[in-house]
Each structure stands twice: as structure tokens, then as C-alpha cells.
Amino acid sequence: MAAPSSSRETADKRLPNTFVACPIVYGSIAFYLGKKAQEYQTHSWTLYVRGPQDEDLSAFVSKVAFTLHPSFAQPVREVTKAPFQITETGWGEFEAGIRIYFKDSNEQPVDLFHHLRLYPPNPAHQLNPKKPVVSENYDEIVFCNPFTKFHSMLMQYGGSSKSAAAAAAAAAAAAASSSSNATSGAPPLPPNPNVTTTAWPEHYVMFDDAMDMEMLLSIHQHIQRELLETKRRLVDCETQVVDAQQGYSAPVPGTTSSTKASSTKTKQSGQQKQGQKKDANASALPGDIEVKMEPTGQQAKTASADSTKDEGNNSAVDTSSAMDVDEPAMTAALQIAVPS
């Protein structure tokens, strides 16, 4: 009895610092019934869980439970062998539940949700009985520190197993070789060649990790190039800013003297203009001046008074006295205006 107990202890031993990623695909495929369609049965559809290359999941999956819309008879249906799928007919779309159980009862089941699609995403596309509507999702189930026996099952399926130290080393190697075109790290284990006999493998999308890794590496390299170009432009901008600041703060030789000379020229030009104005005023009065006497304000008042007198006003105005008052002022004005 001791030998089985030792064997059980060895089988139940967990592998420390070990992570296993198993890729899966879950989704649905729906066919329009065309002329055979009825009011409540317009499509025939299938919900499924499969491997990326249609591998056999029964290597580590014990059963899959599908939860349908409550309007279906027996909405929860379990499938205990590959292929893990169910087929029904209906007329409406709904969200289905998928629960995956594993052959190691110590591992908790995984719950997934999928929206069953019966109609093309583009309304312009018409329904075609020969062209199904396929809706799939790629995912990876990661097992942390699995038991030894279950770890062997995962490896049989084609899971990618790495220890914590190996994962860190692979990440460091990938970062170090990011500038090269070659991928780093060991290639993933080949998938299990035992392929399930699904009904429509020609309509499924075959997911390939190598293509995804190549695309991710190309994106990473593009981002690195863009970062280097952005850094170069930033350095150029900073250099231009420094040069502009130095050119603004340091005076250019000859700037001060030229400014003073310009100011002197401006003053001289102003003085010349003032002299020209004086000369113009002097030339406007020649030696022989014809003086035209204009009535002053007091004379205007006297003239107005005389007019009033002629019209019958009895008040008298002495115009001669007004003329006597203005004669000295006019003589002084003539002496100032006429050059000697």
C-alpha cells in the first residue's frame, strides 16, 4: 500500500514558479436556412470551443457546459467529449455562457461569454445560405503552478510552459534584441496533431502565434523608430531655442553707433525742416508790401452800430475814436511784418 501512496504524492505535487498558457478559440457559426426558414427557425447555428488549429481539447478539458437563452428547452447543456460544441436552430441573437472544466479537479472552471451572431455585421451584406456568419474569439488559459500530472496533460495538448525565472529571462532577451529582426527565445511547442473532426473547418479562422509575434515585433520596431525620430526633433528644437536666445541677448557689433548716427541724422533733418519753414515765411513778405486793412473786432462792432443807426436806432457810435484806438496796434504790426 505504500507504493500507491508515494505515487499519489508525486502526482499531486505542484510545480513551483511554473506557468502554462493554453490557447483556445470559442465562438459560433450560423447558417441562414433560406427557403427552409420558418418564422421561429431562420438559422441553424453552432456554439463551440476548439483549439486555434482545431486541436483536440480533451487532452486537458473534461467537459464544457453551454448556457443558452431561457426560451430553449434545457438551456444548460454539457458536452463531455470532443468536439465541444452544440447545434440548434432559432431566429434571434443572445449572449451564451460557456464554462470549461478541466481534468484536474483542483483547477477552478473558467467562465466565458459569447454573443451569438446570426446576421452579418454589415447590413449591406445580404443573407446567403452558403456563406455562414462566423464570430470567434481567441484567448489563452493560464495555469499557475499546476500539479505534475496535469502539467503533462497540458504539454500533451501543446501548452507553453515557462518558469518565473525563464519568463523573466525571455522578457530581458526580447528587450535586448528588440532592435533586430530576429525573434528571441525558444519557439513554442508544436500543437497536438490530433485534430478534431469539426463540421466546418474551412470556415474557421486558423490562428497562428508565429504570425502574431511577427506582427507585434514589427509594431515594436516601428514604435522604436518613431521614438528615436521624436527625440532627434526635440534635440533640434532645443538647439534652435538656445541659438535664438543667445542671438537676442548679445548685441550685434555696430548696432549702438548706427543707432546714435540715425538719431543725429533725425535731429539734423528736423532742424533743417524748421529752417526751411522760417525761410518760407520770410519769402512770403517781399519788400514792397500791399497792406490790406481788415477791420478789427471793435471796428466790426462800430460798423454794426452804424447800420443800426441808419435803420432808425437813436443811439450814436463814435467810429473815429475806435479808429484812433486801433491805429497804434496796426502800425506796430506793420513794423514787425515788413523787413528793414
Confidence (pLDDT) at 213: 78
In sequence order, the 6+-apart residues with CB closer than 8 A to the CB of 37 are 43
Separation between Cα atoms, residue 40 and residue 271, nearest integer Å: 106
What is the model's pLDDT at position 175?
A: 46
pLDDT value at residue 263: 52
Taking Cα atoms as reference points, which of 114, 193, 120 lies closest to residue 158?
193
Short-list 128, 130, 133, 153, CA closest to 143? 153
Buried b (16+ CB within 10 A) or exposed e, 157-194: bbbbbbeeeeeeeeeeeeeeeeeeeeebeeeeeebbee
pLDDT tens digit at each of 340 positions of the chain:
334 444 444 557 899 999 999 999 999 999 999 989 998 899 999 999 999 888 889 999 999 999 999 999 999 999 999 999 999 999 999 999 999 999 999 999 999 999 999 998 887 788 888 899 999 999 999 999 999 999 999 998 876 665 555 555 544 544 444 333 333 333 333 444 455 555 666 677 766 667 677 888 889 999 999 999 999 999 999 999 998 888 876 555 555 544 444 555 555 555 565 655 555 554 444 444 444 455 554 544 444 545 544 444 444 444 444 444 455 555 555 555 445 4
Q: What pTM was estimated for this model as a whole?
A: 0.53
So what's the pLDDT on residue 3? 42
Please give the DSSP secondary-structure letter assigned to residue 340: -
Which pLDDT tens digit goes with each residue over 72-88?
A: 999 999 999 999 999 99
Q: Where are the alpha helices (DSSP H) in 113-254?
A: 148-157, 164-176, 209-249
Where would I find the H helices in the chain?
2-11, 148-157, 164-176, 209-249, 255-283, 297-310, 319-337
**Cell numbers found for residue 81:** 467529449
pLDDT at 284: 47
- What pLDDT is stored for residue 328 in this prediction? 57
**Residue 328, amino acid:** P
Residue 42 has a pLDDT of: 94
At residue 129, the pLDDT reads 87
